[in-house]
């Protein structure tokens, strides 16, 4: 299996989104599968924000984020990074559209919802208006429309699609995915099913995971989307470890005599990714490479990673998100599995993955 990084566009600064309303301008992004990350900063703890670390914080540029909903946002081709994967022996070419970390936030206004959730959604809405200065929910709708218009073979959702499992976020997610005309596969991110005060607790597992199950073929730990020539396997590692319930099913998938694309939220360790992510987040955001500063894999995760990178592994590529910047590198192991890490969807970004024989 071969992965090729594309040549960057000659004009490296391009509009990621094009507004039909002339009163707003889109943000400028750098195109390319391996383009440089934008400056984001994570709050201490488990939450992620879109605030520029070196920006002048004297005035909150996103204070009116709740009014930024647009009637029409168009995703332009320049907003889509492109990666090439070669899988020898497949019968035709495929196009996949991958977007991750959209962090949809719909304000909670009902007094039937706890004040804690209402306050949190309001705070996060302001933080995640995005570098594009548009509501993440509007950008998600625009990405879905782009998928329906361009008709890839499948849409891959890399987790943190919603910023929390609030009722309004869940309703918006369900209504939006009903409009998607393309087969899709969705893997869990840490924000999809947690709040800071219920971070991967028993309450989160019992109350917030089950409503997501219908979007994951009834199984949030592992599920698949099978195309003619290969299988896409979505595996939950949103806790920074492989979900224990996924391992045995994953072993079976690897015996099906088809190439596999592995979709996870948290990327696996590669030296170059860890170096970039560590400088970006100042904490571990990759699974593996514990001695270098990554997250030490537990026994199940270590076995899973060994199966993935074994010489006999049918895995053609790993596709991940979580870190909010694009990166392409090869995993360590007997087999140099390429790993594609997608840019954040709340910036209006997505990745086109072109697969050829």
What is residue 72's predicted lDDT score, i.e. its pLDDT? 74
Distance of alpha carbon 215 from alpha carbon 186, whole angstroms: 7
For the residues 318-342, what does the mean pLDDT come to?
A: 96
In the structure encoding, which two tokens stand for residue 13, read together? 């600064």
Distance of alpha carbon 178 from alpha carbon 130, whole angstroms: 25
Confidence of residue 256 (pLDDT cuts 50, 70, 90): very high
What end-to-end distance do the CA atoms of the chain give, in Å?
Answer: 9
Percent of the chain with pLDDT over 70: 79
Distance of alpha carbon 313 from alpha carbon 78, whole angstroms: 34
What is residue 333's predicted lDDT score, i.e. its pLDDT? 87
Whether 57 has a pLDDT exceeding 90, the answer reads: no
Confidence of residue 282 (pLDDT cuts 50, 70, 90): confident
Whether 78 has a pLDDT exceeding 70, the answer reads: yes
pLDDT digit string (tens) for 303-324?
999 999 999 999 999 999 999 9
Whether 288 has a pLDDT exceeding 50, the answer reads: yes
Confidence of residue 138 (pLDDT cuts 50, 70, 90): very high
Whether 99 has a pLDDT exceeding 80, the answer reads: yes
CB neighbours of 180 closer than 8 A, spacing ≥ 6? 144, 147, 148, 155
What is residue 129's predicted lDDT score, i.e. its pLDDT? 63
Query: Has domain 2-356 been given CATH number 3.60.21.10?
Result: yes
What is residue 182's predicted lDDT score, i.e. its pLDDT? 98
Distance of alpha carbon 304 from alpha carbon 268, whole angstroms: 11
pLDDT digit string (tens) for 26-55?
222 223 364 433 322 233 334 565 543 332
């Amino acid at each position: 299996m071969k992965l090729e990084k594309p040549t960057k566009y000659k004009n490296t600064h391009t509009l990621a989104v094009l507004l039909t309303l002339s009163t707003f301008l889109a943000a400028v992004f750098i195109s390319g599968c391996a383009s440089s990350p934008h400056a984001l900063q994570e709050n201490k703890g488990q939450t992620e924000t879109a605030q520029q670390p070196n920006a002048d914080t004297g005035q909150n540029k996103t204070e009116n984020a709740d009014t930024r909903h647009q009637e029409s946002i168009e995703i332009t081709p320049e907003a889509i990074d492109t990666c090439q994967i070669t899988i020898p022996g497949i019968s035709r070419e495929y196009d996949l559209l991958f977007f991750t970390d959209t962090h949809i936030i719909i304000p909670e206004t009902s007094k039937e919802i706890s004040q804690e959730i209402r306050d949190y959604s309001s705070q996060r809405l302001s933080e995640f208006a995005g570098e594009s200065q548009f509501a993440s929910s509007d950008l998600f709708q625009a990405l879905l429309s782009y998928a329906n218009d361009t008709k890839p073979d499948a849409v891959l959702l890399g987790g943190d699609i919603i910023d929390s499992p609030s009722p309004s976020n869940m309703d918006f997610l369900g209504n939006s995915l009903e409009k998607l005309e393309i087969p899709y596969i969705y893997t869990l991110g840490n924000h999809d099913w947690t709040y800071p005060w219920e971070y991967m607790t028993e309450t989160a597992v019992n109350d917030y995971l089950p409503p997501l199950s219908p979007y994951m073929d009834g199984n949030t730990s592992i599920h698949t989307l099978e195309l003619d020539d290969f299988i896409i396997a979505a595996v939950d590692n949103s806790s920074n470890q492989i979900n224990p319930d996924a391992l045995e099913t994953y072993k079976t998938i690897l015996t099906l005599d088809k190439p596999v694309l592995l979709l996870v939220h948290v990327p696996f360790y590669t030296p170059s990714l860890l170096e970039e992510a560590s400088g970006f987040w100042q904490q571990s955001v990759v699974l593996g490479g514990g001695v270098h500063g990554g997250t030490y894999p537990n026994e199940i995760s270590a076995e899973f990673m060994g199966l993935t990178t074994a010489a006999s592994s049918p895995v053609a590529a790993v596709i991940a998100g979580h870190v909010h910047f694009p990166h392409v590198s090869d995993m360590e192991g007997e087999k140099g599995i390429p790993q594609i890490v997608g840019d954040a969807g709340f910036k209006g970004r997505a990745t086109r993955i072109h697969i050829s024989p």
